[in-house]
Amino acid sequence: MQNSYKRVDAHLSSLGYCSRSEAKKFLKIFQVRVNGERVFDTNKKVYHNDIIIDEIVLDPETLTVLMHKPSGIICSHDDVGVLIYSLLPERWQKRNPKLSTIGRLDGDTTGAILLTDDGALNHRLTSPKSDISKLYEVTLAQPLKGNEAEIFTSGTLILRGEKKPLLPAKMNVISESVVHLEISEGKYHQVKRMFAAVGNKVTALHRVSFGKYSIENLAIGEYKIL
């Protein structure tokens, strides 16, 4: 766990509690204590783990969050619409560096997504070499033909516009038009394109888990710090 040593106003601004210019006012309004002693000097250098605000410990220096993403929410900082970051506490939206999603889910896709301000972690988990398992519940427009699992498991399926075949994917049938699909890649619209390649269309897509992180205990729109 990080425990940086820097000015009080630097701690507060990097974690989104206030800007540096607002720090003096913040210290007057809120009881900011270091080792039990109230602090009013924004220049005072302290360790992150020693700071308490109104009897509550500071947010972590690096933050990673698991969210149950609702439909209609956009995984972007810049696009028009309801952005995923708007579902988080206001101060988390002001953190520096910014929180970013680890990969993306389409606007109409629901389920497990991670957000972090740890750039190294984000890069590691989105790298093509990461081999992170993602489990999806897929609802289809047409009943299954029966050969989809064999095709997906074979490791020979080449998506339109691609040159290399996909890695093997596991499919479990839930009903004639609902399946669980486990993939370890993250190509653009991969699940939708996989079913398009076998003559079907995805009508609803829900990510049940990302790696070891499942949202089974999170309601739609809820999140938790990892």
**131 is a catalytic site residue:** no
> By CB neighbour count within 10 A (0-12 exposed, 13-18 middle, 19+ buried), where does 105 fall?
buried
> By CB neighbour count within 10 A (0-12 exposed, 13-18 middle, 19+ buried), where does 99 fall?
buried
Helix residue ranges per DSSP H, the chain: 8-14, 23-29, 90-93, 119-126, 148-154, 190-197
Residue indicated by tokens 């020979």: 156
Q: Which of 106, 108, 117, 131 is catalytic?
A: 106
DSSP sequence for 62-127:
S-EEEEEEPTT-B--SSSSS-BGGGGS-HHHHT-SSPPEESS---TT-EEEEEEES-HHHHHHHHS
Give the span between the Cα atoms of 67 and 178, in whole angstroms: 23
Catalytic residues: 106
